[in-house]
Structure 1
């Protein structure tokens, strides 16, 4: 038949115009490109790695990303993040959330600072327990009325300056009235209630225990007597 006549008895393919040689060269070049591609992806350090929560990455970039992700996951969340939408453990001691003077951490236990926050409140405003606990002190300190409540686990709150309406040993619940705002820590022209917090007798910032504050109104240091 005509189809078989194209092949000689020896089984060799008839070569016309060098087409077979061009095809062989093209096939060889394609083989080299494929080999180069495989070598590149089989070299050390190019293995595929996965990063949790993301698409696969390759080589050193993947290792770095995975390490960064692991490190980030190992960092403990801040109290605000852990608390999320849960209510704050404390309530504001007066009806105001305006902080007239914030916490100012001292350099050491004996250095100057502001060991608490000042909450703006008119004289005579009811001061309430920020959380339930036992009154451990209610009386004058350096001429100013102070109420201290032990909330357990070494945590205590202090209200300064107030006229106490409770006595030492009283059990109080969150929101119970324990006194009334008086002049002392703040001047009569800008009265306030000073709220302090202590953990194992060391003063700490009470702000993280409270719901968000209103925008603070700060006064010059010369205006403060506390």
Structure 2
């Protein structure tokens, strides 16, 4: 995924696991272009899901990334390095322009994959109330 990363459709977290949302980002890419690994990892899955080719990589820290529609010659267990060409963008994701869908989960929960690309910031949870210290 060559830089800069033009986001065609952003990550939209679902309210609940079963709720609608956009569990990843769609990044502009040229059909037939090389897709790169977003970080060091190991191939978790490479194959077809429903009707499109999907590549999933397991990374450190419980992160699992997925890219579609991406065809690859890699197999589960293959080690990849950040920036390494891992597949080829195929047609079929349904963007307004040619794109790759990049998803990310940490310990099974969907998160914005822009963090892996250095384009997002980590969320910071702030207290909703201030407990006063009585003295």
TM-score, L = length of structure 2: 0.82
The count of corresponding residues between Structure 1 and Structure 2 is: 120
Following superposition of structure 1 onto structure 2, how do residues 70-219 of structure 1 map, counting pairs within 5 Å?
93-187=1-95, 190-212=97-119
Q: CA deviation at 1:97?
A: 0.9
CA distance in 2 between partners of 1:123 and 1:165 (Å): 17
Give unmatched runs, 5+ long, in structure 2.
121-135
Q: Is 2:38–2:116's contact at 8 Å kept on the other side of the alignment?
A: no
CA distance in 1 between partners of 2:41 and 2:118 (Å): 19
Q: CA deviation at 1:96?
A: 4.2
Q: Is 1:165–1:177's contact at 8 Å kept on the other side of the alignment?
A: no
* Greater strand fraction, Structure 1 or Structure 2: 2
Say which SS state the counterpart of residue 38 (structure 2) adopts: coil
Following superposition of structure 1 onto structure 2, how do residues 27-42 of structure 1 map, counting pairs within 5 Å?
none
* Greater helix fraction, Structure 1 or Structure 2: 1
Q: Which protein has greater RCO, CA pairs closer than 8 Å, 6+ apart?
A: 2
Q: CA deviation at 1:139?
A: 0.6
Q: CA deviation at 1:116?
A: 0.4
